[in-house]
Structure 1
Amino acid sequence: MIGLFNDGFPPIMDGVSLTVKNYAYWLNRKNENVCVVTPKIPGIDYTEKYPVYRYTSIPIPMRKPYRLGFPRIDLPFYEHICKRPFSLVHAHCPFSSGELAMRIAHNQHIPIVATFHSKYRDDFKRVIPNKTLLSLLVRKVIRFYEAADEVWIPQAAVEETIREYGYKGKVEIVDNGTEFSGSENVQSIKTDMRKELGISKNELMFLFVGQHIREKNPGLIIDALSLIKEKPFRMFFIGSGYAEDELHQQVKRLGLENKIKFIGTLTDREQLKRYYAAADLFLFPSLYDNAPLVVREAASMQTPSLLISGATSAEIVEDARNGFLCGRSVAEFAEKLTELIQSPEKIRQAGTNASGTIARSWENVAEEVRDRYKSLLKRYA
């Protein structure tokens, strides 16, 4: 059995959770014996065609819906999972589930793959002011990756981050995918959804999808839009997070209530797909993300992204070809939006190019993942 271990799984809708879900779904479709191991979310039952093993957890303060897991104190679960005959384990985070995967790999003498998905130092900084403790935690994360048989990263630029943290070993690049890749009738979906949302023909629709946290810089979007509020646009925010209330207050303070709408968390993937299709431009000024799925999801629906030049997430975008790049300031972001509002054909062409250069199907990714697993198992044997 192949075990996919992560500290989150849908209905937690972040990129890593969706990556694990799509790995499991497509590996199962390809007749691989696969399971997911993750913290338990009260009230959630899974009907997947593969097992989802869950262990005791508690909510993380200020980080709803994320949970802190305790697999070793959940004795029935722990005894059961340790008896499962795994052939390979894949850890998608270095915390409770990753430590469990590492223990199983050592005890069963099997290979472990670990993917470096996130900028963990930024996560620690939010809650830990002590620099010494911060350095110790980052070092602990790197020791975890040093103990893995293979370390994967989802994008070439992510190597810079893991090297900065102190990792000196080899890394393998394994792209993320999107379940919307290859969607048909995108223009029809776009027309219908814009009509449903009340977007007029002369208005541009902007979209942000992701956690409403300061690290992703959603406040910059609102400040930039306040500088061009006379322009014909509508803005939609999808997601939730600890900064949600302050973003609402920011919109109210800047008088943008008739321009900006907050949708909240959207777990209906088909409905989310319609939002991506309806949008003209996906706004994502995050310096925090490594390889965000949302940029790929938008591209799969022919919606190009506006990103910050030099950001890790911007590596896959070539300015004015399959997306757009700008400086880090509010003024530069607003200036770029003004330029693009006046060039709808440029946006449309970039969206077409994005769908052909950025979007890759999860089925295709899973085929590569399966081949890599088999190669590792062969070498390990």
Structure 2
Amino acid sequence: MKKILIVSTVSRQFYLFEQGNIEVMKSLGYEVHAAANYSDANERLDTLDIIRHHFDIERSPFSLKNIRAYKQLKEIMKSENFDAIHCHSPMGGVLARLAAKATGISSVIYTAHGFHFYKGASKINWLIYYPVEKLLSSYTDVLITINKEDYERAKKFKAKRVVYVPGIGVDTNKFRNVSIDREAKREQLGIPKNTVVLLSIGEMIKRKNHETALKALANLENQNFIYLICGRGQLEDYLMNLTKTLGIENRVRFLGYRNDIPEICIASDVFLFPSFQEGLPVSVMEAMSVGLPIICSEIRGNIDLLDNGEGGYLLNPIDIDGFQFYIKRLLENNELRKSMGRRNSEEVLKYDKKVIKEKMRKIYCENI
């Protein structure tokens, strides 16, 4: 049986983003191994049919522990005699490609889930990550990019082949075929009748930029809305206190980590996503799957999913006035919300998991 190794920095990558790829590999008859730092491991990994290999990789490119991790990864590759590797994450991609070169693995696939250098990125990101990615592309048989900006840049690198695959896909059926009483769900969430529900999904971190949405909502007057935020993170207390400072604490609900995201999306009316940086955001595709209009930042990834003024609005992530203006427009126009939502529910079909899995099947068949 042929063997393939998936490499990432953290093990949650495998159940969050690689389940579809693993299913494709298994269907092609591969024994699937997965190498990562398993210090974050939980029971969700048990649902995957993989053989685990721990190595002490760290996210930071400056960590000296990665020297040891590189040696560990080489030993894993030597002992198992893999036919191919598929690596992910910046440091996972660096160590895996170097180790594959050193051990003579003939087929190397790398997925860039959003280069750390992009339009608007800091100079330090360009100085650190750009030269490394460009150099290691020469050790890459297939470089997969998940948005068009990265694809255009990667075509100038030295990988044997550069492919655009739009993300990991979204299970549109999971969102469209949910059996739920929308009004009952809204009542369960404590939402009064005839209230417009705004929704954001994302970690409470600076990159997700929840602050812009909160400040925009604070400027709205005489509007009947509730804003739901699903996610956890280090800024949770700060954002909760911010709602009090802005005087909107009674209109904002922090729901934390949720297992009922499809139901919450169906219970909502508008999706807000003012993030500073994305690869290709799954949460936006999920919101599109249930037919929500989107107001989001005009950044890489988002601009692939949304046509401005068609399925929603694209704005500078710090344009508080712009977010306020378009939130107000959608709050006051139910028909516009519905028409934009219908467009999104059709547009998202090209990002369905079945489409992505077929693209990945073709890549594996042609390159391993």
User: In which range does the TM-score fall when normalised by the shorter chain?
Assistant: 0.7 to 0.9
Q: Is the CA contact (8 Å cut-off) linking 2:296 and 2:314 kept in structure 1?
A: yes
CA distance in 1, matches of 2:101, 2:316: 45
Which residue of the partner structure matches residue 5 of structure 1?
7
Q: Is 245-254 or 179-188 further displaced after alignment?
A: 179-188
Which residue of the partner structure matches residue 19 of structure 2?
21
2:347 matches 1:357: yes
State which of 99, 104, 110 in structure 1 corresponds to 2:106.
110
Q: Is the CA contact (8 Å cut-off) linking 2:212 and 2:274 kept in structure 1?
A: yes
Other structure's SS at 1:6 match: strand
Q: Is 255-264 or 30-39 further displaced after alignment?
A: 30-39
**C-alpha displacement of 1:57:** 4.3
CA distance in 2, matches of 1:94, 1:318: 29
Q: Is the CA contact (8 Å cut-off) linking 1:8 and 1:39 kept in structure 2?
A: yes
State which of 142, 145, 148 in structure 1 corresponds to 2:137.
145
CA distances 1:176-220 after superposition (whole Å, capped 9, x unpaired): 201344644458353442221122332111111122222222110
CA 1:49–1:240: 2 relative to 1, 3 Å: closer
Is there any run of 5+ residues in structure 1 with no aligned partner, and where?
62-66
Which residue of the partner structure matches residue 82 of structure 1?
78
Total equivalences in the alignment: 357
Which residue of the partner structure matches residue 369 of structure 1?
360
Q: Is the CA contact (8 Å cut-off) linking 1:56 and 1:70 kept in structure 2?
A: no
Other structure's SS at 1:212 match: coil
Q: TM-score, normalised by structure 1?
A: 0.81
CA distance in 1, matches of 2:104, 2:364: 17
Which residue of the partner structure matches residue 64 of structure 1?
none
Q: Is the CA contact (8 Å cut-off) linking 1:158 and 1:312 kept in structure 2?
A: no
One-letter code aligned to 1:110: S
* Superposed counterparts of 1:330-345, under 5 Å: 330-345=320-335
CA distance in 1, matches of 2:225, 2:28: 44
* Superposed counterparts of 1:66-77, under 5 Å: 70=66, 72-73=68-69
CA distance in 2, matches of 1:33, 1:58: 23
CA distances 1:257-277 after superposition (whole Å, capped 9, x unpaired): 1111112233x3xx1222222
CA 1:105–1:279: 2 relative to 1, 3 Å: farther
Which residue of the partner structure matches residue 33 of structure 1?
31
Q: Is the CA contact (8 Å cut-off) linking 2:151 and 2:163 kept in structure 1?
A: no
One-letter code aligned to 2:286: E
TM-align CA RMSD: 3.3
One-letter code aligned to 2:341: G
Other structure's SS at 1:364 match: helix
Other structure's SS at 2:47 match: coil
* Superposed counterparts of 1:156-195, under 5 Å: 156-159=148-151, 167=157, 171-176=162-167, 177-181=169-173, 183-186=175-178, 188=180, 190-195=182-187
Other structure's SS at 1:230 match: coil
Which residue of the partner structure matches residue 308 of structure 1?
297
One-letter code aligned to 1:38: A
CA distance in 2, matches of 1:28, 1:199: 44
Q: Is the CA contact (8 Å cut-off) linking 1:119 and 1:288 kept in structure 2?
A: no
2:254 matches 1:262: yes
CA 1:249–1:121: 2 relative to 1, 3 Å: farther
**C-alpha displacement of 1:155:** 2.0
CA distance in 2, matches of 1:249, 1:161: 41
Is there any run of 5+ residues in structure 2 with no aligned partner, and where?
none
Which residue of the partner structure matches residue 282 of structure 1?
271
CA distance in 2, matches of 1:32, 1:189: 42
Q: Is the CA contact (8 Å cut-off) linking 1:3 and 1:89 kept in structure 2?
A: yes
